[in-house]
Structure 1
Amino acid sequence: MAVTDAEINTAVAVTGRFENAGDPWRGVTGDFDGMGISCGVLQWNIGSASLQPLVLAVGKPVVLREAPTIGAQLWQACNSGVAQGLATVRQWQTGAQLKAVPKKELAALMGSPEMKAQQFSRIKVVAAKADALATAWALAAGRPARSLQELIWFFDLVTQNGSLKGLDHDDVTQFIKTSTPGKADDVVCDWLLAAPAAWWGRVDCIKNAGLWRDKVAAADLELFVLSYLRASLSSAKARGVVMNRKGALAFRKGWINGQLFDFSGQF
């Protein structure tokens, strides 16, 4: 089944909340990761040159309309090299925190109809990749079509992690088979409970271990185990936060970035 606009909007509404409180289309953060500024649903940024094409596509009049104070500087930053662009946007910040006016104007620009259209056109490409992965996963599991839950899980994978890094359905079934009968979820929860102090999201890991233990529905177990296997292949510090995100989508509830999310009524 082809991914629909309604499904894309649901995926954006669900996964966008992990990074941005409120409207994910208008989400804006400062230089917490060395990328200068990160904006919008997929946190397009100056450092990777992913924000510049969106700004140029909407045009200078829209930029100046929505960002009357910093718009001219933003336009110049997006027409310069990455180094100059980073230097420009870092002037709008104290440490890694955007000052009030730049934050307000960037949010207004990202939430404008013109910029939302640009964001959506790029999100559709990501969603198509997620749809293909989710469909392949469902077929490997013996089902004719993927679910909305699987689409959202793979949408988060593509946007945050890129790929499965070679994992497939057989890896999941083998893990479940070789775990003590009925204990695959306990293996995962034990792993979370032992999260090292250096892991991002460690406190959430411990909370999720208690939340998920012995409560994973049989229909969700394979996606839950896939979450664990993919998290295990992430960089050491990121393993916990990857599992928190993916596990919450597989379980439909979980702690992410210090907040409890419940998706049981959405997919």
Structure 2
Amino acid sequence: MRDDVDGLTVGQAAAQLGVTVRTLHHWDAIGLASPSERTPAGYRLYTAPDLDRLRRVAIYREIGVALEDIRAILDGASPEAAGTLRAAHAQLEERIARLNRLGSGLERMIAAHERGVPLADEVQREVFGSGWDPEQARGAREAYGGTRQWRQFAEAAADRTAEEWREVADRVAGVERSLADAMDRGVAPGSAEADDLVERHREAFSAYFPLSRQMQVCLARRYEADPGFAAHYDGIRVGLAAWFRRAVDESARARGIDPETAVWE
């Protein structure tokens, strides 16, 4: 045993390589990469050549090469070393592609949580119509960003394509046209036809987030009371916001829900 031994302890080597001490002990136990020196006190040390081998083991292991294949490659005992590394490279490329896809999905999820509709402004206008104001969606984040419904909306919105958004918008618009037609024909709130339209509205709106019947009561009342919503519905047909609110109230009563005490839940 020499007194001038220079090297790193197991803990120091593990810290430098970014692996655990347990991992180095395992590689040592199976004879894959072992410290070749000892201190005068008997502590095992990794020398510079030892560390070079450890770095190569760590790199190969990180890209998915099996430990036995690593041993064969490093010891020059693998006639198929290039093939083994080529296969590992292909797996690494697929892993990178998968992570890139995950990253893109995460970016869309962040955009959905922050902005509501993760589409460029011009695409939003194309999908929802020239009268659509993307600032309204961003404003909704300020008003409702802390709610469960906003989180549900964002989760659904993150993976939705422009075409899928168009389908949602068309479905909701179709229900609104049917509501206006029913009002024009004198369909009475509380009738079977009005009740069916209320259910169609609830199903179509649930593409944004799940809408309970109690929540629908609250929403219909806001359609009538809020100037922006009222202008939208009365722009389709004058008086539609009030007619729809009455239809929703009657549908709720038929199911044992008192519209006067309905809450957003």
* TM-score class, shorter: under 0.3
Structure with greater strand share of residues:
1
Give the alignment's TM-score, normalised by structure 1: 0.26
Which structure has the larger Rg over C-alpha atoms? 2
Structure of greater relative contact order (alpha carbons < 8 Å, 6+ residues apart): 1
